[in-house]
Each structure stands twice: as C-alpha cells, then as structure tokens.
Structure 1
Amino acid sequence: MTQALISGFTFIKHGLDLGYPIRESIESIEPLCDEIVVNVGFDDPELKKDDGTWEYLNDHFGHTKFKFIKSWWDPKLRKDGLILSQQTNIALEQCRGKYCQYIQGDEALHEDDLSIIHDSVIDLEKNTHLDGLVFDYIHFYGNVDIQLYTRRIYRQEMRLIRNFKDIVSWKDAQGFRYKNESKIQCKKIPARIFHYGWARKEQVMATKVKAMDKLYHENPDQQDFVYKRMWGLRKFTQTHPSVMEEWTTKHKNDLDIMSLPLEFKLKDLNLVVSDAWENLTGHRLGEYKNFKLRS
C-alpha cells in the first residue's frame, strides 16, 4: 500500500428498501482504503427513522476503520438532485486521508482493478498538478448481464480525489469540482466502476425511480416505471466484481429485455451516428466532461 492515507466515502438512504448493493459497494473499496466514512440518511431531524440501513451496515462493518455518521435529508432541498451532493460532502468532510476514494451505493470496484488504482495514487504523489483520477464506467440496464453503452450516458467520471484541496461534490453528485466551480485536473486510468443503478428487478426499480424523482422535482412523475429496450443495449461479457456475486444472483431479472421490441425514435438517429463514429475513432461526439484530463 502507498504510505499516503486513503479514505473511502459514501452515502446512502433507504438502501434496504430500494435494493441498493450498499454493503457490496463498501466491501469493494475496503482493500484500498485505510478508513471508510459512511453517511446514512434519515427521514427526520431527530435521526430516528430509517429503513434499517443504519443497523444493517453497522452489524456488517464493526472494524474501527469504518466511521458511520447520521444525517437528515431535508425535503426542502428537493431540486435538481442537489441533496445528493450535500450528502456526499457531509461524508467527504469527515475524511482524514490525503486521497479519497468515492463510491455510490449502487456502484462497485472490481478486485482486478485495485492494483491499478493503488499505483495511480502513487503517481499522484509524484504529480502534484493532478487532483483526481477518472474511471471507466460500465452501466447495467434492465438486468445484470445487459450493458448500456451510448452517448446517452457518461462513460467516464472522477471517483478518486486529492483531499484538502477545496474540492466538493458537484450538483447531483455525479462528479466533483473545485469550490470556485472550476474543473479538476485529472488523470484517466483503466480502472472500472460497475454501476448497477438500473439493474434491479422491475418492481424494486419502480420504487427507486419514484424515490429519486422526488429529489429532483416538486411534483414527481407518478407513472409506474417499466423497462424498455432502447438503443445502445448489449450483452455484458466480462466478469462482475466478486463481492457482487450474491447480489447479482438475487437481483437477476426474469425479464429478457433484448426480446422486447426496440423503441426507436427519430432523435435516436443522432445516437446511431455518434456511436458509429465512436466505434471508428474512439472519440465521442459532443461528450460532456466534468473534468480536465492531463498526463
């Protein structure tokens, strides 16, 4: 391990009711981290009401390297998902490490990539002009063996940052920025984030979608969620992180999403063109990056 202290940090609310692999997410970063800060959200200012996630995680992670904190999710912050960055920052502020490895409750690292991340942190020690590491993303949709890869979703994002550099979680917690809102200078590494946010069974997914919609809108959509076959779906042929084996077996969807009719709209032609260009050149047209890549 590098001699520089590495803090892991995450947040979660209603992780049990909404089917999050939060225990597995934490386990996936545990070998990399010297401490892990877990911010568990509650429904009331008195911090008494949750779905059992607090007790569940404390029962599983009793070692002193784990630090659990409670926080209230203020419903007044129901706009653009800003409460997600607020909750991320609550955990980040408790981190003591020189570097901080972030993981969200529906994400996991692969054990094969831990050495890549470790060596990249050592490189950060030598390259003080860089303040973050950018990971590749694997997004699952509809099932644990179906991957969504298209310009519609981000393919890279920052998940490790240098601490004590006025860096904060940005907007709805997809990435990070400096406090002055400028983009962070980062290095791209070939480590992967496995994102299971859209891989739950349909009924659980419908509950999760409604819960998330309330974080973005005053009057959330009340329509029930159903999976649809969309452009960009393909079979996942790699291996899942070993910590996800039990979860992926339990949450494998009976639905064969690839057997559904393809829902294709005129605006999807842009995706077809840009995806074809990316396959030819490796360059994604119109890609938004919440960071600046440097070598």
Structure 2
Amino acid sequence: MNRHAAVLFLVILMTAALSLLIGSADLFELTRTQWQNIIFNIRLPRVLSAAVLGATLAMSGVVFQVVLRNPMADSFTLGMANAAVLGSAAAVTTTLPLFARPLFSIIAGLLALFIVLAAARRLDTAYRPETLIIIGVLLGAMMSGVLYIIVLIAPAQTESIARYMFGSLSGSSYEVLLLTAALALLSGIILHRSGRALDLLNLGDARAYSLGVDVKKVRPLLLITASIPPLVAISFTGMVALVGIIVPQMILYFRPLMFRPLLILSALYGALYIIIVDTVGRTIIAPIQIPTGVMVMISAVPLFIFLMYKRVLVSRR
C-alpha cells in the first residue's frame, strides 16, 4: 500500500503541474509578469483547492460508509451538502462577513445530518441503507427548494447563489485554501488514529462494543469530525456531489481494505479525481468554464449507476 500511495502521490504532482500549464490563456504569448500572475494567483490556488476538496470529500465518505454501514452514504446523499450550500447562500444574501459562510454551512450541515439520522431511527431502527438514502435525498431536495425561494427573493444575488448551486473552484484563494487544508489535515489525523475503532464498527455495534468501543460516544464524534472539513469546503465552492461515494467504493470494488489504507488511498484518489475533472471543465470549451460540480456529476453518475448495478447483482447471489 505504501508503494501504491507513493506512486499515486507522484501522479498527483505531475497532473497538478500539467494543470498549471494548460488553460484558455497561452502562457507563451504573455509577458513574464502576466504568466506569473496567472500561474501563482489564479491556477495554483485553484489546483491546490481542487486537491484539498477531493481529498476531503473522499475521506468523509469513507467514514460515513463505515460508521453508518451504508456504502451509499456521503455528504450529498445524507442531505448535508444541500444544507451547507443553503447555509452559505443565506450568509451571502444577508451580506454577512466571509467567516460566516463556513459557520452557517457547518450548522446547517450538521443539523441536516441529525434530522436524517433521527428520522431514520424513528422509521427504521435497523438504519437500513435505503432508509437513510431516501430520507437524505428528500431532505436535500427540500433544501434545494428553499434555495430557489432565496433566489426569487434576492434576484440581485442570483449569480452568486448559482455558483453555489453548480459548484465552482473559480476564484479560489490562498486564505480559503489554508483554512480547508488545515481542517482536512486535522480531521485526517484524528480519523487515522481512530482506525481500529472504525474497523471494529464495521463489524457491527455489538461486536465493536464487546471489543471495547464505546459505540454511543464514538459514532457521533467520528461523524462530526468527518463532517466539518467537507462542509467548510462546500461553503466556499458550492455543491460538489458523489465524490465521497464513487472514490472509496471504486477502490473497494477492486480490493477490500482496512480503514487506514482505505482512508489514505481515498484521499489521494479523490484529490487526483477533482484536479482532472476541474482541469477538463475549464479547458474543454475554453474560454467558457464548466463548473466543477457539473463536471463531477457528468462523470460520477455513470460510475454511481455501475456501483449500484454491481451491488444488486451481489445481493441476488
């Protein structure tokens, strides 16, 4: 696994370097000052933000799927991403300062998670995967409806809100990058150290409890730890969905892994995936840029259907 991770890290570096060199502006036709400004002030923070966003979403997806024992659980299918976008849009339309966006997103996202888990618990004490997903998707749809109402109420903010609805890395800054990267790193360290508890949770609550895991205490702590970084990232980028499902499940499709190696590989593949998708989105029909969230949906939905198809086949055997 160490060799796999090392090779993958080198691939990420090479892909990121290539992404810096391609775009709508031809660097060879610009002055030194101009291309330095494009590389270091526009493309570099965007590429780094793409890597952090991908890693954050993929890591959180791994935790959600293990803790909830649901292979289709992530911030999007649990309604958290829609709630986070709604929180950020509310902060934008009320002209609150920049730091209010992640705060509103965290509150809204965690509230959505609590609602989904509480509702699922009332309807199905077994927390069956389909129950969680149905409630999460329905809650997400309701949050999107509220977001459309905000657009109608504040038409002057339509362009800003649309950016959150579609998910975009344009306008990435080093300040936001440092915040999201620090949270992602801190969350990753905590989750990696909790690897044994997560492996035991994957065996079931009763087994984990018998082996020394305080399930009632550990589960909410792990969910919150895994939730905050992607909610903060989404508060600045907008809706980027399904990464938390596609990346870890594609890894597991080829090879079963324990939690710690799965967490590391998911973070690396997630970073690579978003860098590639964002680069294609901003160059394929340049100078028009396709939002990152749109490109992810276009590429991820076929993979999502493939995973669901394989899951159905396995359940029938």
TM-score, with structure 1 as normaliser: 0.29
| Relative contact order, higher structure (CA 8 A, sep 6+) | 2
Q: Which has the higher strand share?
A: 1
Of Structure 1 and Structure 2, the greater helix share is in 2
TM-score normalized by the length of structure 2: 0.28
